[in-house]
Each structure stands twice: as C-alpha cells, then as structure tokens.
Amino acid sequence: MNKIDIKKFITSPATVKVVSLLTFTVLMTAIISSQNYFFQNIIENGISKRDIVAQKTLTVVDVKRTEQHRKEVASRVEPVLTAAEDEFIKTNLITLENSIVQIRKKESPNSVKLEELGILLDLSGNTKKDFITNFLLKADDASLQEVFDKSNLTLDKILRVGISESEFENNDIHQLVMNNIVSNVSKRQISVISALLEQIIVPNLVVDEYATEVSRKNAMNSVKPYEIVFQKGEKILFEGEPVTRLKRDALRQAGYNVYELNWQGLSAIYILVFLATILFLGYLKFFEDKFLEPRYLTISSVLSLVMAVIAAVLPTGFSPYILPVPAYMIIMSIFLSPRVALIASAILCSVLAIGAQYDVQWLITFVLLGMVSMITISSIRFSRRFDLIRTGFHISAAGLIIVLSIYLIEKCLIDINNIMIFRNCVLMFINGILSSIIALGLFPVFESWFKIITPYGLAELADHNQPLLKRLQFEAPGTYHHSLMVSNLCEAAAEAIGANPILARVGAFYHDIGKLKRPLFFVENQSYFGIENPHTKLNPRLSKMVITAHPKDGVEIAKEYGLPPIIHNFILQHHGEGLASYFYNQAVQEEGQENVKEEQFRYTGPKPNTKETAILMIADAVESAVRSLKNPTPEEIEKIIDKIIVERLNDTQLADSPLTLQDLKVIAATFSRILRGMQHNRIKYQENLAEEFDKTKIVMPNKILDEDLENKIQQLEKRSED
C-alpha cells in the first residue's frame, strides 16, 4: 500500500467515523473511571498504605454485623400456618357415616356385615374393637345418630384449633379427640367417636410460604442497624491494616472513592459505554437521521463528556441530585430535538449510575424527569427568553415531586434520615432552575462553536436592528420591502403545513442580501433611487450574469456577517436552478433560438431541499408577480399563484423538496389569503382636501409646516381634548 492509498484510507469518511467513535468511547470510559484511581493511591491489595484520619465525626453502619443479626432474627420466626382441607375432612366423615348406615340396612348375615365393617374401619390395635363394631351394627338409630352428631361437633372443634403436621405425627389422635370432645358424652360414645374420627382426621394446617416470608422480612426490617462512630481526629485506618467493608464505608463517608478498578472493571465500563453509544447512534439512524451530521454528533459528544467530567469531580458522598442533568436535557432539546434529548439523557444517566455507583432512585428520578422536560420544552415560546426560566421552574417542581414520592415510598419500608430527604429535595429544586439559567447562557456559545442555529438565535436574527438588515434597508430599500412581504408569506405558509415558521421568516429576511453588492441592477431599487434601468445598456448575457450572481454574492456577505449555514441554504436555493426567463427571451430575440441554450440562463442552484426553502422559492416569485400588477382582483391573484406553482413543478424545481401536493394546495390558499389582505382598496381623498394638501408645502431641512395647515392641526387637537 503506497502513501497515497494510506492517506486516502486515513481521510476516508468511514475511517473518520470509526476513529471518532473509538475516541469518544475511550474518553468517556477514562473520565468515568478516573474517580477510582485515587483510592489505589492509599490502598494496595486490600491493605492500607498509610494512616487515614477522620476529618469530621463519622457514623458508619456495620453492614456485616447488622445483616448477621437480621438473619438470626428471621430464623427465629415461626412459620405462618393457614387452614386447609377442612371441607375435605368433613366430607370424609359424612361419607363414612353413610357407608355405616348402608351396611346396617343390608339383609346380609351379621358375619358378613362385620366383615364389611372391618374393611371400612381400620380398628387394628384398638382394644375396644368388638364393642365399637357391635355398637355400630346393633345400636338403635337414635343412639347411632347421636354419636354421628357429636362426632361432627367434635370434628368442628378440632378443625378450629387446627392440626399441624408435627402435631399429627407426634400426638395420639385419641388424646386429641379427648382434649376437644364435646360435653355430655358417655364413655361408650367416646370410644365410638374416637374410632370414627381416627379414620378421617389429617393435618389441616399448612405453611403459608408468602406470609412466612413477609413475617421474616418484617422481623429483619425491625432490627436497628449497628452503628460505629469515628470521632474527628480518630484514625479510620492504620498503616498495614486490612480494609474491611466497614472501613470502606467509613472511607466513602470521609470523601474517598473506594472502588478498585482493574483491567476487568475498565473493560466492563468500556463495553457499557460502547454499547450505549451504539444504541444512541442506532436510534438516530432509524428515527432521527437528520441529526447524524457531524455538528450534531459533536455537540452531543461534548455535552456527554462535560456531564461525565462533572460527575467525576463531584466529591464522593455529595448528593448526585445536583448534577446539571436538566441543563443537558434543555440544551439537547433546543439544538437537536426533545425526543433525542430524552433518549440521550436516559442512556447517559444509565451509564453514570453504573459507572459512578449512584442509587437506582437517582436513575429513575432523572429518567422520569426527562419525560417531563420533553413535554415542557416543546411548549416554549422562543420569542421570550424568560419562558426558558419558567420551564426550569416546572422541571424543578416535577423533580421535587418525583424525589419526594420515591423517598416517601422507601420510608414505609426502611428508616431514612429526614435531613437527607430534605437536602436532596432542595438540591433537586435548585438544580432545575439553575440548569435553565446555565443553558440560556450557553446557547450563544454553542451556536458560535457548532454553527447550529437555535430558535433563540433565529429570534435575534429576526430583529430589524441587525446590522445586515439595517444595511439592506438603507442601501436596497426596495429589496428590503420585498423581503418583508415575502417573510410574511413564508411564515404563514410554513405554519399552515407544519414547517418551521420562525426559520422560514428569518430565511426570507436574508434571502436577497446578495443584491447589496449591486443594488441598482435590481428593478425594485431603481424606482426608489429614480435611476434608469442599467440593463438597457447591457447585453442579455451580461445582465444574466449580474442577476444570477446574487445568491453567490449573498452567501459571501452571509459568511462575512457570521450568519449560520442554515440561512445560507435560503440564499442559495430560493431560485434553485430556475431560468432567468426575461433575459433568456431577450437573448433569443437578439441572437435567435438556435444560438441560445436554456442552461446558459439558469441559476446555479441547488434546488430547494427543505420545506422552508421551497416555500421561499414560491413566495419570492409570487410576491414579485403580484406586485407588478395594478390593483389585482382575488381571481387574478389565485391564477398567478397557481401558474407559478405549476411552472416550478414542470421545471422540476421542487423535485428535491419534501413538499406534497396537499402542502402545495395549502400554501396556495395561504398565499392567496395574505396577498388579498396586502392588496386591499384604499380610501379616496376628497378633492378639496387633496388640493389643500397639494398647496401645503414642507420646508426642508427645518421641516416647518405652513401656517394654515398648522392651524388646522391645532384645531383638531383642541376638539379631541374637548
């Protein structure tokens, strides 16, 4: 591979993109991991390299001892039992009783009945087996029914008390029956009742795993944490002492970062940063591809790196709720879009939460706050800068509610320091307002650095006191007036079709600034200065060169005055590659059709490629055409608009723009409405009043009105006062 190939490879767009991606991810990883290096200066292989003295009183929770005590308390919690199988046991008793009744009713011999009864009842080992079987077969119905009734009552009582597995295995069922037997039962009945219940009783209490787990957790949460106090001036660590978890927690409170990152940890953070970056770029590619331009990616990268630096230098133990994440959201929303800002802030907060070991509550707070910011920023009126401060207040209020809600939920489960809750809520509230002020101050800086115009920058450019507009007003007043009329058309049409009305208006203000180079060669300025048309002395080809040069001249002037690149598009594209038809037709008359080509009389372009520049192309032609007519009717105005739009379509000048036929229909209707308002009829003055004004003379430069007119004015003022 020769030197030329190497240079081409290095400067190729693909190589630049890969190098930029790797550079950003490496820088981001280094910044996030930087806070972990300091800990390695005082700790080596888990052993303290020097004495560490507490600079303030520290109260540290002994997590290990607290957890051990909690486990001991949880292990002593008895399982929670719940009743089950009651209906099943009762049904078995009823079935048993019915079976006994059926055996008694049979016409079989007693020996057969005894055999069937022996199969039905397991009385092996029962010393009163013969008595029980004889009673069940030979007792009268009333006595048997009495035994059945008392058996059911006894069973109900036993089931209410409950039978656990351990009790069933260890206790004698006969003794269980005796303990729960109903009153007024004879000894004979007790034997029969006990025999019947022994056949059907099973444990009816089972362990409720969920309730038991809840009970154990409640017991664990009731354990107060063991706290160790290090007084100011007391040594936290001695040289050569192993660093336990308790000592790490004490060092963290003292302001040390206690995470040792080896190559494995650094690799993990890099992978996380790399995947987050790819995820963000993937979102832009599939949903917001217009922001894949280098300037937008650069501002996103710079803002993310700045946020990472702030997080890295924030002292350990200081609340992360002061991180200016809302400022990041606001700036990203204004320079890119609110949707992109939401995705970017969610990804960035996720990376910082993992890399800087922030609580999950912090991550949830700022992800939810990102959604609030997206909605509030979308409703900003950019003509008023204070609206951004008001938006910051709304973000602060929403953040305060989110943080307080999360802490109130946590406080129901664990004990949280009220001072910490108050501190974080205050910091969150201050953060939103302070972030809006920071963002407002950084807008001009970022606009200058990255050449991205924001709505605030557009509002400044729309000020008629801008030096370039003042110059246009005095040096080319006809062009200035034309630009004002066109800006009204563009703004109304852009708003009607959902384009950017502020951008369309500002672009229209500056689209003809190239005429400042030769203002007297353009017809709208000639009448103002009262000069003869200089094109009458030029051949058509030279006139065409002068006229079609004004877009290129306009870009040169725009660069001289520091106008953003997006305004350059309006200057270059407002004629597209259109034909300078007047000079073309003039050349055809002078030189003949065969000697003149259309390409020689076309503007250099390019064609409009946005809705706003396409609207400007149509508005520029329509305003000039309508102005050339004297008192046009509404029908004439509509015909001119339709004619110009059809001509631009047939000439393929709108081929690169995203305008649809429906958009063109709305634009035509909007232009017609605006132009009808501009062309309203004037009131005709009375003849004698007109004559009186003709007689009136103004003396220059003293500007003294004649006495008659001055007297009339004074009379009118006096009448108005009366």
pLDDT digits (tens, 9 = 90+) for 16-71: 889 999 999 999 998 988 766 555 556 666 677 677 777 777 778 777 788 888 78
**Residue reference for tokens 């500056």:** 510
The whole-angstrom separation of Cα 575 and Cα 648 is 10
**How much is the average pLDDT of 534-542?**
86
Which burial class, exposed, middle or buried, applies to 506 when counting CB atoms under 10 A from its CB (0-12, 13-18, 19+)? buried
Which of the listed CATH numbers 3.90.1570, 1.10.1760, 3.40.50, 3.10.620 matches domain 11-18+261-452? 1.10.1760
DSSP state for residue 80 in the 8-state scheme = P
Q: Please state, rounded to an integer, the average pLDDT across all residues of the chain.
A: 82
Q: Which residues contact 372 (CB under 8 A, 6 or more apart)?
A: 394, 395, 398, 399
**How much is the average pLDDT of 350-363?**
87
Task: Specify the long-range contacts of residues 520-525, CB closer than 8 Å, at least 24 apart.
Answer: 521/546, 521/547, 522/476, 522/478, 522/479, 522/547, 522/550, 523/478, 524/478, 524/479, 524/481, 524/482, 525/476, 525/477, 525/478, 525/479
pLDDT tens, residue by residue, 495-528: 999 999 999 999 999 999 999 999 988 888 887 7
pLDDT tens, residue by residue, 320-337: 899 999 999 999 999 999
**Residue reference for tokens 């004559």:** 691
- For the chain, give every domain's residue range: 11-18+261-452, 81-207, 466-678, 692-721
pLDDT beyond 70 at 710: no
Cα-Cα-Cα-Cα dihedral sign, residues 311, 314, 315, 320: negative
Res. 716 pLDDT band, cuts 50 70 90: very low
Res. 129 pLDDT band, cuts 50 70 90: confident
Neighbours of 389 (CB within 10 A): 14
The whole-angstrom separation of Cα 41 and Cα 684 is 91
Tell me the whole-structure pTM to 2 decimals. Answer: 0.62
**Fold: same for 11-18+261-452 and 466-678:** no
More confident residue, 577 or 205: 577
Q: Quick one: fold of 466-678?
A: Hypothetical protein af1432 (1.10.3210)
Element (H, E) at 53: strand 52-53
Residue closest to 308 by CA, chosen among 358, 268, 371, 261: 358
- Phi, psi dihedrals of residue 598, rounded to the nearest 5°: -60, -40
pLDDT beyond 60 at 120: yes
Beta pairing partners, 579 = 602
Q: Measure the N-to-C terminal CA separation of the chain; round to a whole number of Å.
A: 96
pLDDT beyond 70 at 128: yes
The whole-angstrom separation of Cα 316 and Cα 689 is 84
